[in-house]
Copies of this chain bind each other. A is one copy, B any other.
């Protein structure tokens, strides 16, 4: 019988191994040939590795390699001497002795995009058409390390606050957000939908664990093809019980964002530097009522209020601008959205039921979060459903939680790709989505 014993001795080094052990002696290292620059008597063969680039130097007559046999896109294992070189990435280079070719790209092909350039200067359209290749560019892939860091921060912070991570179904029988923007599918002869949000399930799970979160895909069949909409995106959701008011949720989000920014500055400094992003400290976040914000912008910029029930994208931009100027904050909470525009599970403000105990968070003039307090009382929830012409019998499973007792609770959902987009000062949410899905894009 053979046995798998766990890790065996590694024969190759990673960049952090070299930096930890000191730049001296010979090294074996593998990677993908990112670029070759032939300088005559010597050549730079730059390897791309997960941690960054490694400069290897080919020297005529010393390296036991035929330089002509090398090609961008090959993966190789090289052996050579380590030398300090402050102009090289990470401050060292490898003077090549030997190269073993591990794999080769197809004979006769050219890279469709100049991925080894610092900036590819390529249209978003081309980058998306060749997504599997364009992501190999150092700056492109750095964006998604930042995105990884945001989700790590989200989870780590919520774990520290006694939240439980949950996994809720994406194939569902009904839709939480209402409206027609829902993908339908055939499910063994029954009609089913793709979940627009984990709303019902996360409320349900508050009844089980008091505080829960989920970072998972959601699906919206919206037809508008804008720079900020996706038909599939990652929603960072949390929901918490035993709240004293919806301010508790905004406080949790404020602390969460601080934690995420600190984690990025701490663990993703390399990528932030690469993308030339500076993350400021998050100070106290201004909070303004929906109606006051609308009025403020209308007066300050002499605009007519067209839609009294919702914020237009341009209004969001102006509110963000105004708050930035006056309070030097990239973030602003807008509270008390009109009941008419919020879902049936939103709790109305007892002081004025035309408004809800809800909020959006704007970041650099764009909505990245929607949240609020939910109805926990069975009779009130049923009444609100009926007042909207809904049939409570269609929601038996959801109403089960109110029927058998729910604490006062609320929560929020953060659009991960939008948050990443604003954080990285990108102009299109597709720039911060690995493989975007929109009205015209179903692949790659």
Give residues in A with beta carbon < 8 Å to B: 1-8, 12, 14, 30, 32-33, 49-51, 72-75, 77, 102-106, 109, 111-112, 130-133, 135-136, 141, 144-145, 147-148, 151-152, 159, 162, 164-174, 183-188, 190, 192, 194, 201, 204-205, 207-211, 216-217, 219, 221, 223, 231-232, 234, 241-242, 247, 250-252, 254-255, 258, 284-288, 326-327, 333, 376-379, 397, 400-408, 416, 434-435, 437, 439-440, 442-444
Interface residue from B170, B192, B234 paired with A167 (Cβ < 8 Å):
B234
Interface residue from B172, B183, B251, B439 paired with A4 (Cβ < 8 Å):
B251
Nearest 3 pairs of A and B residues by beta carbon: A73-B405, A397-B444, A105-B405
- A241 to B284 CA separation, bound complex (whole angstroms): 44
Q: How close is A158's CB to chain B, nearest CB, in angstroms? A: 11
Q: How close is A126's CB to chain B, nearest CB, in angstroms? A: 13
- A223 to B442 CA separation, bound complex (whole angstroms): 27
Pull 27 A–B residue pairs with CB atoms less than 8 Å apart, ordered by A: A3-B284, A4-B284, A4-B285, A6-B255, A50-B210, A75-B241, A75-B407, A105-B403, A106-B379, A109-B403, A109-B404, A132-B207, A132-B401, A141-B209, A148-B165, A167-B416, A168-B434, A170-B219, A171-B219, A173-B443, A183-B185, A188-B221, A188-B439, A188-B440, A192-B442, A216-B217, A400-B444
Q: Do A217 and B167 touch (CB < 8 A)?
A: yes
CB closest chain-B residue, reference A104: B405
Q: Do B333 and A287 touch (CB < 8 A)?
A: no
B residues in contact with A405, CB < 8 Å = 32-33, 72-75, 103-105
Q: Do B204 and A132 touch (CB < 8 A)?
A: yes
B residues in contact with A74, CB < 8 Å = 405
Q: Are A408 and B103 also in contact (CB < 8 A) when A1-B327, A166-B434, A435-B168 are?
A: yes
Q: How close is A404's CB to chain B, nearest CB, in angstroms? A: 5
B residues in contact with A326, CB < 8 Å = 1
- A378 to B106 CA separation, bound complex (whole angstroms): 6
What secondary structure prevails in chain A residues at the interface with B? Answer: mixed
Q: How close is A385's CB to chain B, nearest CB, in angstroms? A: 14
Q: Do A435 and B169 touch (CB < 8 A)?
A: yes
CB closest chain-B residue, reference A400: B132
Q: How close is A12's CB to chain B, nearest CB, in angstroms? A: 7
Name, among A185, A221, A251, A326, the residue most crowded by chain B CB atoms within 10 Å (CB to CB).
Answer: A185
CB closest chain-B residue, reference A103: B376
Q: Are A285 and B442 also in contact (CB < 8 A) when A136-B207, A207-B132, A404-B133 are?
A: no
- A286 to B152 CA separation, bound complex (whole angstroms): 35
- A72 to B405 CA separation, bound complex (whole angstroms): 8
- A33 to B252 CA separation, bound complex (whole angstroms): 26
- A404 to B130 CA separation, bound complex (whole angstroms): 11
Q: Are A151 and B165 also in contact (CB < 8 A) when A5-B284, A106-B402, A251-B4 are?
A: yes
Q: Do A209 and B50 touch (CB < 8 A)?
A: yes
- A287 to B5 CA separation, bound complex (whole angstroms): 10
Q: Do B437 and A169 touch (CB < 8 A)?
A: yes
Q: Do A378 and B105 touch (CB < 8 A)?
A: yes
Interface residue from B164, B188, B192 paired with A148 (Cβ < 8 Å):
B164
Q: Do B403 and A442 touch (CB < 8 A)?
A: no
Q: Do A6 and B111 touch (CB < 8 A)?
A: no
Q: Are A333 and B4 also in contact (CB < 8 A) when A165-B151, A217-B170, A377-B103 are?
A: yes
Q: How close is A302's CB to chain B, nearest CB, in angstroms? A: 21
B residues in contact with A379, CB < 8 Å = 106
CB closest chain-B residue, reference A109: B403
Q: Do B135 and A205 touch (CB < 8 A)?
A: yes
Q: Do B162 and A254 touch (CB < 8 A)?
A: no
- A245 to B181 CA separation, bound complex (whole angstroms): 47
Interface residue from B185, B208, B403 paired with A135 (Cβ < 8 Å):
B208
Q: Do A73 and B1 touch (CB < 8 A)?
A: no
B residues in contact with A285, CB < 8 Å = 3-4
- A167 to B133 CA separation, bound complex (whole angstroms): 17
